[in-house]
Amino acid sequence: MARPADLELASVTKRYGDTTAVDSINLKIKAGTYCCLLGPSGCGKSSTLRMIAGHEAVSDGDIVLGHDIVNKLPPAKRGTAMMFQSYALFPHLSVRDNVAFSLKMKGVGKVDRSIKATEALKLVDMTRYAERLPAQLSGGQQQRVALARALVTDPQLLLLDEPLSALDPFLKIKVRAELKRFQRELGISFIHVTHSQEEAMALADLIVIMNNGKIEQMGTPREIFNAPSTEFVARFIGGHNVMPLEGRSISVRADRLSLSPGGGDGVAASVREVEYQGTAVYVSLATDAGIEMTAIVPERAFYQQPFETGDTVTVHWNPDDIHELSASA
Amino acid sequence: MLEMKSRWAPYWQAAPLAIVLLIFFVLPLLVTLAVSFWTYTGYSIEPAMVSDNYASAFDKCLASLPDLCTTFRTYLSTLKFCLIVWLITLVLGFTVAYFLVFEVKSNNMRLILALITTIPFWTSNVIRMISWIPLLGRNGVVNQWLLSVGLISEPLDWLLYSNFSVVLALVHLNTVFMIVPILNSMSRIDKSLVEAAYDTGASGWQTLWNVIIPLSKTGIAIGSIFVITVVMGDFISIGLMGGQQIASAGKVIESQINALQFPIAAANAVVLLAIVLMIIWTLLRFVDIRKEL
């Protein structure tokens, strides 16, 4: 089976002509980590992944996997495997032949190939579909086949490029749980590129938030959610109200705001929008100074004292919930 | 009422094309088939139902085996040209299509280059062929250049009115028929498949053989049908570029038509059609071209 290995990026840079897509990033990922590269489109997360995968040349810096610098190695020699966004299954080959493809390229005999492919398919519970063509499978099934194809080479590191973006929301959550389970069972590192903070929070041991080719912040989902270091992170991760306070920039979690009818201590604001979300009600607010905020109020609390659009309310928060932000990097 | 209408609608929509095909394709074909059983003399053609024309097309062919009769030799020579031209256009067409799809990065450039490949079609094919003559003739540009460089001491004869010039002209005329369908199916190949192949450790040749060629198969088949049908029936290029010295199935039919021997020309045409259909049928056994439609 795969030998889990640590991955280290040492001032890795990617330039396309004059533009710098990835700007000298440093990153250490311990073996067996589920790491999510998170950021808006164009932030450099995909370029980073593709450099680790060996599909994009490194302009500067080193990629170290285990004990080896792998900058110059082709993907198959690195011990990495990549799962593509649209899965990139070969449409003319059966599921079994898709999974066995890399073995065939290596010159493994037909029988061994079939045995190993079947093993990989068993892992993702797809043996029943071995003879089908990719077009005859659902999105979720195709994803499992792509996973099996990536795993058949026993990679030390699995790279996933927005693997859930092609699935419908319901399936997304199901497949997400499966990915996490596979990662746990295999014990290798997964590096997963996504622009959905929800996905990253649900999956990651380590979230790396990128912006403009730089790492904005990295940490566990809880660290990041409770202590976003910059305004960008606080806004991107969501659930935070970023506002100025005495010349500084602060954030307060949306679920830490409480609302009361006009008057009393706190900030006066008017209710712009009330969104019912089941377990909680999202109240959009705007202060007289034009600062926008969102309060997430538990359903029961909200309906004990409901507000409507246009009401004037007072917003309170505990001083302990104020989190200082540094200027955006 | 509405149901009636919608049930017949598809037939009405298909009718114009069906009628055109019926009048200009099926009907002439049936007439040819019918005429191939008629009888003729030096001055008359009479409707009949005899197989004489087929018998005389293959006159003494079976009896003289293993020596080849003229008809067999003609078909063999036509098939030989067909095979050579098919192979060359296939390699050229595939290479050009591959270059356009996988090597040219900018879409505009790809479009421009693809249009350039169609330039031979901007003039009639007779003009295209005739323009080879000043190039390849005994005192043509090529010979003069080779002489002046000193590579040869006297002009090369085989450049024009030879098998070489026939193949050259046919390749020149038909390569684009190969390029376009292959380009069409190749450009539908998802680029991430090539990346996926690279990711799994496939070399360039392995990717070509295991991914790109299988996925271009329908284009290759369609291009092959175009080239094979055109070359099998050709008599202008083979006549003109072969100095009217090289026999071909199409040429036989043409000279019979010129002699107003329509029934035997029709019989030969039916035989040629049968052979071409057999080749295409064989091709289609390997490839499902419906995927491309």
A87: left (phi over 0), alpha (psi -120 to 50) or beta: left
**How many residues appear in chain A?**
329
Chain A nearest-CA distance from B216, in A, is: 11
Chain A nearest-CA distance from B92, in A, is: 24
Q: Which residue has the tokens 């912040």?
A: A217
Q: State yes or no: ipTM above 0.90.
A: no
Q: Which helix (H) or strand (E) holds B194?
A: helix B191-199
B134 confidence band (pLDDT: 50, 70, 90):
confident
Does B214 sit within 8 Å of A101, measured CB to CB? no
Q: Please say whether the beta carbons of A222 and A239 come within 8 A.
A: no
Q: Amino acid identity, residue B88?
A: I
Cβ-based neighbours of A187, under 8 Å, separated by 6 or more: A2, A4, A31, A32
Output the pLDDT for position A1.
46
Chain A, window 130-169: residues with a beta carbon less than 8 angstroms from a chain B beta carbon: 149, 153
Output the pLDDT for position B292.
56
**How many residues appear in chain B?**
293
Q: Which helix (H) or strand (E) holds B256?
A: helix B249-258
What is the SS3 assignment for B156?
coil
Which CA distances in Å does A111 have to A17, A96, A117, B240? 47, 12, 10, 57
d(CA A164, CA A170): 11
d(CA A222, CA A229): 13
A83 bridge partner residues: A160
Per residue, the 3-state secondary structure of chain A, as one string, reads: CCCCCCEEEEEEEEEECCEEEEEEEEEEECCCCEEEEECCCCCCHHHHHHHHHCCCCCCEEEEEECCEECCCCCHHHHCEEEECCCCCCCCCCCHHHHHHHHHHHHCCCHHHHHHHHHHHHHHCCCHHHCCCCHHHCCHHHHHHHHHHHHHCCCCCEEEEECCCCCCCHHHHHHHHHHHHHHHHHHCCEEEEEECCHHHHHHHCCEEEEEECCEEEEEECHHHHHHCCCEHHHHHHHCCEEEEEECCEEEEEEHHHCEEEECCCCCEEEEEEEEEECCCEEEEEEEECCCCEEEEEEEHHHHHHCCCCCCCEEEEECCHHHCEEEECCC
Nearest to A144 by CA among A124, A119, A123: A124
A324 bridge partner residues: A250
Nearest to A245 by CA among A231, A227, A228, A225: A231
Q: Please say whether the beta carbons of A14 and A24 come within 8 A.
A: no
Output the pLDDT for position B5.
65
Does B193 sit within 8 Å of A75, measured CB to CB? no
Does B215 sit within 8 Å of A91, measured CB to CB? yes
pTM of the model: 0.81
Nearest CA in chain A to B195: A55
B4 confidence band (pLDDT: 50, 70, 90):
low
Q: Please say whether the beta carbons of A17 and A172 come within 8 A.
A: no
A153 neighbourhood in chain B, CB within 8 Å: 200-201
pLDDT at B115 over 50: yes
A209 bridge partner residues: A38, A217
What is the SS3 assignment for B45?
strand
At residue B77's C-alpha, the angle toward residues B76 and B83, to 5°, is 85
Of the partner residues A55, A91, A101, the one whose CB lies closest to the CB of residue B200: A101
Strands of the sheet with A34-38, listed across from one edge: A80-83, A157-161, A189-194, A34-38, A206-211, A214-219
Output the pLDDT for position A2.
52
Burial of A121 (0-12, 13-18, 19+ CB in 10 A): buried
Burial of A293 (0-12, 13-18, 19+ CB in 10 A): buried
B244 confidence band (pLDDT: 50, 70, 90):
confident
How confident is chain A (329 residues) per 10-residue block, as mean pLDDT?
Answer: 77 90 91 92 91 91 89 88 91 94 91 92 91 91 92 90 87 89 91 92 93 92 91 90 84 89 80 91 88 90 88 87 75
A42: left (phi over 0), alpha (psi -120 to 50) or beta: left
Chain B nearest-CA distance from A151, in A, is: 10
Does A53 sit within 8 Å of B200, measured CB to CB? no
Chain A nearest-CA distance from B207, in A, is: 9
Long-range pairs for B67-73 at CB < 8 Å and ≥24 separation? B70/B247, B71/B252, B73/B247
Q: Please say whether the beta carbons of A239 and A254 come within 8 A.
A: yes
pLDDT at B168 over 60: yes
pLDDT digits over B190-222, tens only?
999 999 999 988 899 999 999 999 999 999 999
Q: Please say whether the beta carbons of A315 and A285 come within 8 A.
A: yes
As a whole number, mean pLDDT of residues B74-94 equals: 94
Instruction: Note whether A73 contacts B: Cβ–Cβ < 8 A.
Output: no
What is the SS3 assignment for B190?
coil
Of the partner residues A53, A86, A104, the one whose CB lies closest to the CB of residue B199: A53
Of the partner residues A55, A81, A90, the one whose CB lies closest to the CB of residue B193: A90
Give the whole-number percent of chain B exceeding pLDDT 90. Answer: 41
B287 confidence band (pLDDT: 50, 70, 90):
confident
Neighbours of A256 (CB within 10 A): 18
Token duo for residue A62: 């080193």
Output the pLDDT for position B194.
93
Q: Which residue has the tokens 């659902």?
A: A138
Token duo for residue A239: 């659930």
As a whole number, mean pLDDT of residues B256-273 equals: 90
Nearest CA in chain A to B209: A105
Q: Please say whether the beta carbons of A158 and A1 come within 8 A.
A: no
What's the N-to-C CA distance of chain A in angstroms? 41
B197 neighbourhood in chain A, CB within 8 Å: 90, 101, 105
Does A76 sit within 8 Å of B199, measured CB to CB? yes
Render the burial of B27-44: b for 16+ CB within 10 Å, e for the rest: eeeeebeebbbbebeeee
